[in-house]
Chains A and B, each alone.
Chain A
């Protein structure tokens, strides 16, 4: 017997597009995150170099990764909601 979801979900026509969008956004974030890890591993002294406002790269990059995750999350939700509203509405009409 296969397992059923906890609640019944309606048909969602936007799944393939949302999946593609998720993969693209994941890849973008992964590249930025990998950049931080690579700099930390291969060129650690660069993280101490000062940039904007006298702050070093470690602080700016680290904080940037946290803020970027929040901003990308909001963008992703905006587009997913729009896709769901548009494609599922077309399906109904």
Chain B
């Protein structure tokens, strides 16, 4: 859809970006050593580091992706919130302190602390790069999604803009400026999300979300031999009819504008219900509800069909508490939209039609991950795989792990993790209200699930929308900066310095890190443009699966199993990483990106974790047992 650009939005956006850049240049003058560049000198206060953790972790996936997924599929999106936070438990109880004791700048340093193995240096560095790049894709996609409504720019422009700003941040000042950018945006994100939730609850649940909300029109129809002949409004003329999976869609025209309608024959009088359509015409044009995109006819959707409070139907609830809000949603009926695609007279038609869903189905899993009605063994395994990957992925993300080296002590590492868990946990509770709020307040752009949270803010005024969008952009800047620091560390510190043993002065090490940051940034820009249509939270789920498969077996077994060997670690990283990558490349989601039918994908699972994570552990155990040179003792006992 097309969004109106506002000068307020542009001013707030520019203010945010300039503040961030100013901060970077300020710290750049202080960054002279490798320790300063990669680990902020190890002198960040634990409370600042904790909120910076939150700023690093609450990425585009959390804010844009989860809220969007909840707005489209209800509780299934909230599963990501639960899993993402649970992952921090593994980080706090098992990984935080030992890693702080072992490492220097990067995750590879910690893995290699016991063995001094070139194989570990190489595989850990490659794994860091692969995980970080997979994590970068959704951030860049989110950047494109947010810049479109904020500045009226195309998707690719947003991706390039984030890439350029972040490269500038990281290449100038490294971890210190990255930390403060993450600290500021983490704090702002939580505060302003809370404000939006308070406004949602204060507004309550209404049948009509706003005065200008467009509810789909319904027209009585006359049928003869199963075909629609005419409708109650004589200004419409019937052009054709199409059957798709038992559903009937009717093409009509009015004043030269074609539209598609869904035939409902449930009542005694057949009726046609207005749909939203995207039509790719034979001559290469794309029409939104029969008109070019600029006409703005592809309106936002999402409303409540029936509100039931204490067994009584009402038109609105008035201001409502958080528990009552969820309870009332559970007893109401909500209008979601279902997508169908087909070809008609040489045109590619994508139709979004109303799907009235019981509130009780919205606040439990099953609308995205089929667990109950229509479940198969694969859909259940997909759910299991996602929950496993999220639980085990957090503590294996290189850009999160490097934050343990920015604080001065183990105690500070632990305390900053607890601050992070509290801040992140509170934000994730808010996501349920942000997502369902968007679902019922006409804040869904059917063309982009990632826009639901900013569009929800827009229902409360352009200023709030501008602030939220600018924070979302800063969110992406913060996370991408962290990822690029981790990646540049993998290239310049792990590969060039430690693996290839290239002799470099402190200054040259920092220079190498800066060049690496530029290279990784350019790759991220290209991938962000390629993956435009994917939900960002889903993409992050894949990054978690790769991290959990490649890195976690190595980290946990090194810490807790005394027979772990260098070969075991290296092979576990290689097998975990390759298996998860191959399974992703053969998955239904990637087949859709290739332009092939999802059903033809050889791998039925969307998330590979359930196969690749156990395989990573198994590889480490088998290779370590076969390798006669055993480790002396688990690293924790040393």
A and B part of one assembly: yes
Q: Is there an interface contact between B326 and A66, defined as CB atoms closer than 8 Å?
A: no
Quick one: given A33-B391, A76-B93, are A69 and B85 in contact (CB under 8 Å)? yes
Q: Is there an interface contact between A55 and B410, defined as CB atoms closer than 8 Å?
A: no
With beta carbons under 8 angstroms apart, the residue of A5, A59, A76 that contacts B102 is A5
8 Å CB contacts to B: which residues of A33-61?
A: 33, 36-37, 40-41, 44-45, 47-48, 50, 53-59
Q: Name the CB-closest residue of A to B87.
A: A69
Q: Name the CB-closest residue of B to A7.
A: B42
B592 located at the interface, meaning its Cβ lies under 8 Å from any Cβ of chain A in the complex:
no
B27 located at the interface, meaning its Cβ lies under 8 Å from any Cβ of chain A in the complex:
no
Give the chain B neighbours of A26 by CB distance below 8 A. Answer: 89-90, 93-94
Which among B364, B375, B425, B428 has the greatest number of chain A C-beta atoms within 10 A? B364
Q: Which of B61-69, B265-273, B415-423 participates in binding chain A? A: B415-423
Q: Is there an interface contact between B429 and A40, defined as CB atoms closer than 8 Å?
A: no
Q: Is there an interface contact between B363 and A59, defined as CB atoms closer than 8 Å?
A: yes
Quick one: given A5-B100, A56-B330, are A66 and B429 in contact (CB under 8 Å)? yes
Q: Is there an interface contact between A55 and B42, defined as CB atoms closer than 8 Å?
A: no
Q: Name the CB-closest residue of A to B89.
A: A29
Q: Is there an interface contact between A48 and B85, defined as CB atoms closer than 8 Å?
A: no
With beta carbons under 8 angstroms apart, the residue of A6, A25, A70, A84 that contacts B93 is A25
Q: Is there an interface contact between A9 and B88, defined as CB atoms closer than 8 Å?
A: no
Cα A26 to Cα B372 with chains together (Å): 30
With beta carbons under 8 angstroms apart, the residue of B104, B418, B636 that contacts A74 is B418
Quick one: given A41-B383, A56-B360, are A66 and B101 in contact (CB under 8 Å)? no
Cα A77 to Cα B98 with chains together (Å): 15
Q: How far is the CB of B97 from chain A (nearest CB, A)?
A: 7
Give the chain B neighbours of A57 by CB distance below 8 A. Answer: 364
Cα A4 to Cα B365 with chains together (Å): 46
The bracket for how many chain B residues form the interface is 35 or more
Q: Name the CB-closest residue of B to A14.
A: B410
With beta carbons under 8 angstroms apart, the residue of B326, B371, B388, B425 that contacts A69 is B425
B109 located at the interface, meaning its Cβ lies under 8 Å from any Cβ of chain A in the complex:
yes
State the majority secondary structure of interface residues on A: helix
Q: Is there an interface contact between B360 and A33, defined as CB atoms closer than 8 Å?
A: no
Q: Name the CB-closest residue of A to B96.
A: A22
Q: Please, what's the 1-or-0 string for B427-460, where 1 marks a CB less than 8 Å from any CB in chain A?
A: 0110000000000000000000000000000000
A89 located at the interface, meaning its Cβ lies under 8 Å from any Cβ of chain B in the complex:
no
Q: Is there an interface contact between A66 and B81, defined as CB atoms closer than 8 Å?
A: yes
Q: Is there an interface contact between A44 and B371, defined as CB atoms closer than 8 Å?
A: yes
B604 located at the interface, meaning its Cβ lies under 8 Å from any Cβ of chain A in the complex:
no
Q: Is there an interface contact between B109 and A3, defined as CB atoms closer than 8 Å?
A: yes
Q: Is there an interface contact between A6 and B104, defined as CB atoms closer than 8 Å?
A: yes
Q: Name the CB-closest residue of B to A26.
A: B93
A87 located at the interface, meaning its Cβ lies under 8 Å from any Cβ of chain B in the complex:
no
Q: How far is the CB of A71 from chain B (nearest CB, A)?
A: 10
Give the chain A neighbours of B43 by CB distance below 8 A. Answer: 7
Q: How far is the CB of A72 from chain B (nearest CB, A)?
A: 7
Give the chain B neighbours of A63 by CB distance below 8 A. Answer: 429
Give the chain B neighbours of A56 by CB distance below 8 A. Answer: 330, 360, 363-364
Q: Is there an interface contact between A70 and B92, defined as CB atoms closer than 8 Å?
A: no
Q: Is there an interface contact between B89 and A41, defined as CB atoms closer than 8 Å?
A: no
With beta carbons under 8 angstroms apart, the residue of A12, A29, A50, A54 that contacts B410 is A12
Cα A67 to Cα B116 with chains together (Å): 41
Q: Is there an interface contact between B103 and A6, defined as CB atoms closer than 8 Å?
A: yes
Q: How many of chain A's residues have a CB under 8 angstroms from any CB in B? A: 51
Q: Is there an interface contact between B85 and A3, defined as CB atoms closer than 8 Å?
A: no
With beta carbons under 8 angstroms apart, the residue of A16, A22, A62 that contacts B637 is A16
Give the chain A neighbours of B371 by CB distance below 8 A. Answer: 40-41, 44
Cα A22 to Cα B110 with chains together (Å): 19
Give the chain B neighbours of A50 by CB distance below 8 A. Answer: 330
Q: Name the CB-closest residue of A to B113.
A: A3
B35 located at the interface, meaning its Cβ lies under 8 Å from any Cβ of chain A in the complex:
yes
With beta carbons under 8 angstroms apart, the residue of B101, B383, B415, B428 that contacts A9 is B101
B478 located at the interface, meaning its Cβ lies under 8 Å from any Cβ of chain A in the complex:
no
Give the chain A neighbours of B94 by CB distance below 8 A. Answer: 22-23, 26
Quick one: given A40-B371, A40-B383, are A19 and B636 in contact (CB under 8 Å)? yes
Q: Is there an interface contact between B364 and A29, defined as CB atoms closer than 8 Å?
A: no
Q: Is there an interface contact between A41 and B380, defined as CB atoms closer than 8 Å?
A: yes
With beta carbons under 8 angstroms apart, the residue of A3, A30, A37, A74 that contacts B384 is A37
B291 located at the interface, meaning its Cβ lies under 8 Å from any Cβ of chain A in the complex:
no
Give the chain A neighbours of B410 by CB distance below 8 A. Answer: 9, 12
Q: How far is the CB of A84 from chain B (nearest CB, A)?
A: 6
Cα A9 to Cα B413 with chains together (Å): 12
Give the chain B neighbours of A47 by CB distance below 8 A. Answer: 364-365
Q: Please, what's the 1-or-0 string for B9-40, where 1 marks a CB less than 8 Å from any CB in chain A?
A: 00000000000000000000000000100010
Give the chain A neighbours of B384 by CB distance below 8 A. Answer: 37, 41
Cα A53 to Cα B323 with chains together (Å): 8
Cα A18 to Cα B103 with chains together (Å): 19
Q: How far is the CB of A40 from chain B (nearest CB, A)?
A: 6
With beta carbons under 8 angstroms apart, the residue of A2, A37, A55 that contacts B323 is A55
Q: Is there an interface contact between A66 and B113, defined as CB atoms closer than 8 Å?
A: no
Q: How far is the CB of B609 from chain A (nearest CB, A)?
A: 12
Q: How far is the CB of B439 from chain A (nearest CB, A)?
A: 15
Give the chain B neighbours of A80 by CB distance below 8 A. Answer: 411, 414
Q: Is there an interface contact between A22 and B93, defined as CB atoms closer than 8 Å?
A: yes
Which among B89, B391, B417 has the greatest number of chain A C-beta atoms within 10 A? B89
Give the chain A neighbours of B110 by CB distance below 8 A. Answer: 3
Q: Is there an interface contact between A62 and B82, defined as CB atoms closer than 8 Å?
A: yes
The 9 A-B residue pairs whose C-beta atoms are closest, nearest first, are A44-B371, A22-B93, A58-B364, A26-B93, A7-B42, A6-B42, A3-B109, A44-B372, A73-B418
Binding site for B on A (CB under 8 A): 1-7, 9, 12, 15-16, 18-19, 22-23, 25-26, 29-30, 33, 36-37, 40-41, 44-45, 47-48, 50, 53-59, 62-63, 65-67, 69-70, 72-74, 76-77, 80-81, 84
List 15 additional contacts besides A6-B103, A26-B93, A29-B93; criterion CB under 8 Å. Answer: A1-B116, A5-B103, A9-B100, A9-B410, A26-B90, A29-B86, A33-B86, A41-B371, A55-B327, A56-B363, A65-B82, A65-B86, A66-B81, A67-B425, A73-B88
- Cross-chain pairs A/B with CB under 8 angstroms, 6 sampled: A3-B109, A5-B104, A37-B383, A48-B364, A73-B88, A73-B418
